[in-house]
Amino acid sequence: MRPNKLIYFILFLGISLFAKGNVYVQSNKAKLLSQPKLNADGTGLKIGEVLTPMGEQGLFVQVRVEEKTGWVSKLFVSPLPPGNQMKLGITSNSSEAVVARQRASDFTKTAAARGLSETQKMRVRGEGELYDFESLRWLESVPLSAEVTNDKDDKSSPNVSLQQNLFSFTSNQSLPVLGETKAEVKMGRSLAARLLKKYPIVKDLEFTRYLNSIAFRLGSVSSRKDLEFRVGIIESNEINAYSCPGGYLFLTTGALKKIQTEAELAGIIAHEMGHVILFHNGEFKESNVFVDILSGLLSPPGSEVVNSAMATAITEMEKQFFETGRDVKVELEADEAAVGLVSQVGYSPLGLSSYLNTMSKSDGAELLKKTHPETNVRIAKLVFIESSISMEGTPIIVDRWSEYKNRIGK
């Protein structure tokens, strides 16, 4: 097996992660269920509680906790222990990073003095012909909240404060940001920057905030409290959406033009989030701080870097977007995850199947159909899943899509 194929295999072997080791409760929506159904009877589980997996069935894991056994949704648990949310754009000032920075500086000075070629192994790629980190930084700068208002100063808006309390991320400042999370975000940022080099980002602040408010709601009930989910609009007539590790999601203008309701929009976003929440990109091992800083020292001042090993893995990920697609099983699992997520926050579970029905009759969806399972198969399974969902007692979200859909193409 060639090295790049080995990297590809390791990165995307994420289908059965929940069958290995313990899993940890990450959402207050998690329950120990009597059956593998979201609406089954069950008892609440505490965030941080450790569960021992015994088996899997679709989107559910059979677990043992103390002397009890039952089922829990993969949407609400994680194979990673609880960790604090990673704030994008913040660099580490930890003692480990300081020491690594000094080591990296000494390494480059020694190599230069001796005329050695060790640094050639650390060839780096950054902003330029392959990546657009500038557009990505714009997306990362968009404020996140569960509600979009017309107030210029969102911090003083009572509506925003209320929504943030209702859909807040549980953050424990005493917990560290997990090394695995840092590695995932680093890989995802680079893949997102590669995608933005291919498709220009649409810098519509109000529209982007609206999309991110939906992702904020959906993420608030999921297991990935360690991530800031970001949704960007990219200019393309193709009907498609993309999910990068670390929570970077993108919708094409072609896809947005086909959407009829906010429930459909939420279904698409939730599907892409499902890939991240369910670790369909595989596990990401904690990166070597020394190597990361050394890469930075070898790069032009002020630029962001991607070392050569990471660039190889990103190229393989990019092939999934445009050529091979993901495994059928994980795509159907992401569909099921979408129904579970949207119904938890008050959207109709019918949104994604409604959108797929429209898309199946539209021109411009050739790439999506090439890289996804047969649309009729997806719709048939969604109809079955939707029939098992009850919205009883869940407040219905007001549809705001009519306020934004006419902005596409302006």
Q: Which residue matches tokens 């499902």?
A: 274
Residue 365 has pLDDT above 90, yes or no: no
Mean pLDDT of 77-105: 68
**What is the model's pLDDT at position 314?**
84
CA 57 to chain centre: 23
Please choose, from the candidates 377, 370, 379, 382, the residue with its C-alpha nearest in 3D space to the C-alpha of residue 338: 382
CA 117 to chain centre: 38
For 3-62, how does the pLDDT look when each residue is reduced to its tens digit (9 = 90+)?
A: 444 444 444 444 455 666 899 999 989 999 999 998 899 999 999 999 999 999 989 999
Cβ neighbourhood burial of 205 (10 Å; 0-12, 13-18, 19+)? exposed
63-72, 120-129, 248-257, 298-307: least confidently modelled range? 120-129
Residue 118 has pLDDT above 80, yes or no: no
- Strand partners of residue 56: 61
Where are the alpha helices (H) located in 320-392, listed in sequence order? 328-345, 351-360, 366-371, 375-386
Rounded to an integer, what distance in angstroms lies between the CA atom of residue 56 and that of residue 62? 6
Mean pLDDT of 125-151: 79
Q: What is the pLDDT of the chain when averaged over all its residues?
A: 80
| Entry field: residues in the chain | 410
Q: What is the DSSP letter of 245?
A: G
121 contact partners, CB below 8 Å, separation of at least 6: none
Other CB atoms closer than 10 Å to residue 198's CB: what's the count? 13
Tell me which amino acid residue 396 is: I
**What is the model's pLDDT at position 242?**
95
CA 98 to chain centre: 29
- Express as a percent the part of the chain with pLDDT over 90: 47
Task: Report whether 310 contacts 135 (CB < 8 A).
Answer: no
Residue 234: φ, ψ to 5°: -120, 145
**What is the model's pLDDT at position 163?**
39
**What is the model's pLDDT at position 127?**
57
CA distances from 49 to 19, 295, 372, 393 (A): 17, 38, 35, 26
Cβ neighbourhood burial of 243 (10 Å; 0-12, 13-18, 19+)? buried
Rounded to an integer, what distance in angstroms lies between the CA atom of residue 61 and that of residue 66? 16
pTM confidence score: 0.82
Mean pLDDT of 190-196: 93
Residue 318 has pLDDT above 90, yes or no: no
Q: List the structure tokens of 350.
A: 């019918």
Please choose, from the candidates 408, 405, 410, 400, the residue with its C-alpha nearest in 3D space to the C-alpha of residue 149: 400
Residue 170 has pLDDT above 50, yes or no: no
Please choose, from the candidates 12, 25, 118, the residue with its C-alpha nearest in 3D space to the C-alpha of residue 76: 25
Pairing status of strand 23-25 against strand 77-78: antiparallel
* CATH for the stretch 21-78: 2.30.30.40
**What is the model's pLDDT at position 68?**
93
CA distances from 279 to 83, 109, 160, 321 (A): 16, 40, 31, 16
- Strand partners of residue 388: none
**3-state SS class at 253:** helix
265 contact partners, CB below 8 Å, separation of at least 6: 211, 214, 256, 259, 351, 401
Task: Report whether 213 contacts 125 (CB < 8 A).
Answer: no
User: How do the domains of the chain map onto residue ranges?
Assistant: 21-78, 97-407
The terminus-to-terminus CA distance of the chain in angstroms comes to 48
Rounded to an integer, what distance in angstroms lies between the CA atom of residue 11 and that of residue 6? 9
**What is the model's pLDDT at position 38?**
87
Task: Report whether 225 contacts 169 (CB < 8 A).
Answer: yes
Q: List the structure tokens of 133.
A: 């980190």
Tell me which amino acid residue 266 is: A
pLDDT band of residue 222 (cuts 50, 70, 90) is very high
Please choose, from the candidates 281, 280, 391, 276, the residue with its C-alpha nearest in 3D space to the C-alpha of residue 340: 391
Rounded to an integer, what distance in angstroms lies between the CA atom of residue 378 and that of residue 40? 24
Q: List the structure tokens of 248.
A: 């970077």
